[in-house]
Amino acid sequence: MPKLSGFSRTLPFIALCLFLAQGLAAVAQSPYHILDRWKLGGDGGWDYMLVDSAAHRLYITHGNRVEAVDTTTGKPAGAITGLHGFSHGIALDTDGKTGYISDGGGNAVVVFDRSNFSTLATIAVGTNPDAILFDPSTNTVWTFNGRSHDISVVDAAARKVVATIPVPGKPEFAATDGKGNIYDNIEDKNEIIRLDAGARKITAEWPLAGCESPSGLAFDTASSHLFAVCDAKVMAIVNATSGKEAGKAAICDGPDAAGWDPNHKLAFASCGDGNLAVVKASGSKFETVEMLPTERGARTMAYDPATDRIYTVTAEFGPRPAPTADNPHPRPAIVPNSFTVIVMGR
């Protein structure tokens, strides 16, 4: 058997190093993985989610209730019940004690005690309140009312509506910089509006070119970038000061929520097609670095910057019914007690 030269003996080592380097590069480009699944059960559809990092709690709107889950154990911590038909979103007061729910079926904001999940007040607002946020600069709660095409502004201390602001179309998800500016996607007009929280009025309308039906909205306050997720697999990045487009990124199909990781400079989009898109946002460059398979229907999400965890939810589905004239695009039925949280991380 011929002796191998030093160079020949080195070749397998070089090949191994190249293979390992390629593997490490692939991992670097795919930082997130599914870590766990928490089966909660129960019936009904779902919408927005929100993390309370300090309390290690995940809030999930689920049918006529809001689930509270302990993020350290994955077990239910309690629930806010007695909502009307369909709850949409959750907002948390900076007092650390109070939470707010947009009760879509009840056309109301439900105020709850975060220590024991009891209902403290119910405040009538516009028709079908969808997105909801707490603005710390004015100590107000804002609901974005999908059917009445307006915004209700609630004084958090007095627990009453102090303003109603008409908007140019159907409002979707919203974000605040905490310093007096609020931003909202107008889904049927393909635009973002900016509002002055103190003056309670619209100060700008910015068209989103190439962005159909913007829904989820995330905000990097450090770079003043808004991330709007749109149909046709697009994330539109907009300068929150000028309203000018800063870039676009490719995402998954059927997005409904967005998130922002300030530590790693990553934007997320969760999609009903069963994928989570991860977009690197460094400076003026926006690059899709991962498309993580989740499960069909996992279209909403919440991000916890304290633990670098991403949460989404879905359920099992039965067969899709045959279309009819009244319902040409029927949704498949949800399999009872199959509601599940999907946990993603590094």
Q: What is the pLDDT of residues 239-294, one digit of tens each?
A: 999 999 999 999 999 999 999 999 999 999 999 999 999 999 987 889 999 999 99
Please name the helix (run of DSSP H) or strand (run of DSSP E) that holds residue 109, with its range, or none: strand 108-113
**127 within domain boundaries:** yes
Whether the pLDDT of residue 75 is over 90: the answer is yes
**37 within domain boundaries:** no
Whether the pLDDT of residue 29 is over 90: the answer is no
Whether the pLDDT of residue 164 is over 70: the answer is yes
Which of these ranges, 39-48, 156-165, 198-207, 328-337, has the smallest mean pLDDT?
A: 328-337
Mean pLDDT of all residues in 288-311: 97
**Are the beta carbons of 136 and 123 closer than 8 angstroms?**
no
**166 within domain boundaries:** yes
**109 within domain boundaries:** yes
Whether the pLDDT of residue 112 is over 60: the answer is yes
Which of these ranges, 102-111, 186-195, 279-288, has the smallest mean pLDDT?
A: 279-288
Mean pLDDT of all residues in 72-93: 95
Query: What is the pTM (predicted TM-score) of this model?
Result: 0.89
Q: Give pLDDT, residue 44.
A: 86
Whether the pLDDT of residue 22 is over 60: the answer is no
Whether the pLDDT of residue 301 is over 90: the answer is yes
Whether the pLDDT of residue 9 is over 70: the answer is no
**38 within domain boundaries:** no
Using alpha carbons, select from 339, 345, 341 the residue that is nearest to residue 63: 339
Whether the pLDDT of residue 129 is over 60: the answer is yes
Q: Report the alpha-carbon distance of residue 228 to residue 268 in Å, rounded.
A: 10
**333 within domain boundaries:** no
Q: Report the alpha-carbon distance of residue 135 to residue 75 in Å, rounded.
A: 30
Q: Report the alpha-carbon distance of residue 203 to residue 171 in Å, rounded.
A: 16
**Are the beta carbons of 155 and 177 closer than 8 angstroms?**
no
CA 33-313-306 angle, 5° bins: 55
Whether the pLDDT of residue 220 is over 80: the answer is yes
Where is pLDDT greater, at 313 or 29? 313
**Are the beta carbons of 228 and 211 closer than 8 angstroms?**
yes
How many independent structural domains does the chain possess?
Answer: 1
Host domain of residue 154: 46-313
Q: What is the biggest distance separating any 2 CA atoms in the chain, rounded to whole angstroms?
A: 91
Three-state secondary structure call for residue 41: coil
**280 within domain boundaries:** yes
CATH of the domain at 196: 2.130.10.10
Three-state secondary structure call for residue 292: strand
Whether the pLDDT of residue 4 is over 60: the answer is no
- DSSP string covering 197-209, please? TTTTEEEEEEE-T
Adjacent-strand bridge partners of 62: 46, 65
**159 within domain boundaries:** yes
Please classify residue 86 by burial: count the beta carbons closer than 10 Å to its beta carbon, then call 0-12 exposed, 13-18 middle and 19+ buried.
buried
Q: Give pLDDT, residue 204.
A: 98
**Are the beta carbons of 110 and 125 closer than 8 angstroms?**
no
Mean pLDDT of all residues in 10-29: 40
Q: Report the alpha-carbon distance of residue 340 to residue 43 in Å, rounded.
A: 11
